[in-house]
Amino acid sequence: MDVKLLCLDIDGTILDSRKELTDRTRQAVVFVRERGVKVFLASGRSLPGLKELLDRLDLAKNCICMNGALVYADGKEIRRSGLAPDMVEEILETAAKYDSQVFFAGVDFNLTNKPLEGKMADAVRKGSLRGDYIIRTNPSEFRAEVERLEGQILKAGVKELEESNFQRMREDLEAFGNLHIAKSDTHFVDINSASCTKWLGVKAAADYLGIPICDVMCIGDNENDKEMIAKAGIGVAMGNADPCVKRVAYYVTGTNDEDGAADAIHYFLYGVQ
C-alpha cells in the first residue's frame, strides 16, 4: 500500500490528554505533507475549532469537519450535509427529557443551552477549543436561537454526566432511525444525519483528489472514527482507543500520550519503528 492520503482525528489522537499537540507529532505530520502526502484533519469539531491546528500544521483548509458534515479540500467546500428541522426537534426533545446539555453547530457558530464546564472549559482556556459559544440558558431563548438558525445546523451533540441517563438517552436517539449517533468523548455523543459520517467525509476527499481508498490511511480513537478506520486502506487505532475501534483496526499504535500517531506515521510511511 502506498499512502497518498492521511486522515487524522484530533482529540485523543494527535492531541495528548492535556489537549496539546506535541512537537514530535507535529513534526511527523509536517514531514509527510512536505513529501507529497495529502493530510486532512478529520474531526467532530467545526471549522473555526480546527483553524489553529490547520495553521500549526500548515494544512491550508484540508479538513473533514463535524464528522463529515462539512468537507474542505484545497480550500474548497466539496461536501455539506446538515440536520433537517425534524431531526433537530428530535434532539431537542430528547435532551429536554434528561435535562442534558445540548450543542448545535454550523459553519460559523456553536450554540449550547448550558455553561461550558470541565474539560471543555479547560480546553477553551488553553485555546485548544474555540471560545465563541453562543450560550442561552433560558429555555425559551435557546429554542428561539435554534429556530433562528434553522437550515444552518450541521451537527449536534449531547452531554450527559449520569451514566444510566446517558445510555437511555442514546437509545432514545437511536430509536428515531434517521440519526447517526457516535460517542466522541466521555459522556458525550455526536449526532449527525444518518447519511453523514467521518468515513463519508474521507471518501469525499479521496474521490475529489482521485486517490483510491487502498491508498488512504486513517488514525483515530473513538466511536466516530470506527467506520473510517474499518474501511480505509490502513486503519490505525490509538492505544487509548475505544475497544470497538481497536477491533476493526488494521494496526494498534501507542497512546496519544506516547505520540502513537507519530509512531504509526513513521512505521507505515517510512518503515521506521
Predicted pLDDT at 129:
55
Q: What is the pTM of this model?
A: 0.89
Count CA within 13 A, CB hemisphere, residue 127. Answer: 4
Q: How far apart are CA 35 and CA 213, in angstroms?
A: 19
Task: Please report the domains of the chain, with CATH numbers, ordered by start residue.
Answer: 5-80+196-270 (3.40.50.1000), 85-193 (3.30.1240.10)
Predicted pLDDT at 271:
74
Beta bridge mates, 6 = 39, 217
Across 183-210, average pLDDT: 93
Helix (H) or strand (E) holding 24: helix 23-34
Inter-axis angle of helices 23-34 and 260-270, to 10 degrees?
30
82-119 pLDDT, tens digit per residue, is: 999 999 999 999 999 999 999 999 998 899 999 987 76
Predicted pLDDT at 133:
84
Across 31-37, average pLDDT: 93
CA 57, 23, 28, 54: dihedral to nearest 10 degrees? -10
202-260 pLDDT, tens digit per residue, is: 999 999 999 999 999 999 999 999 999 999 999 999 999 999 999 999 999 999 999 99
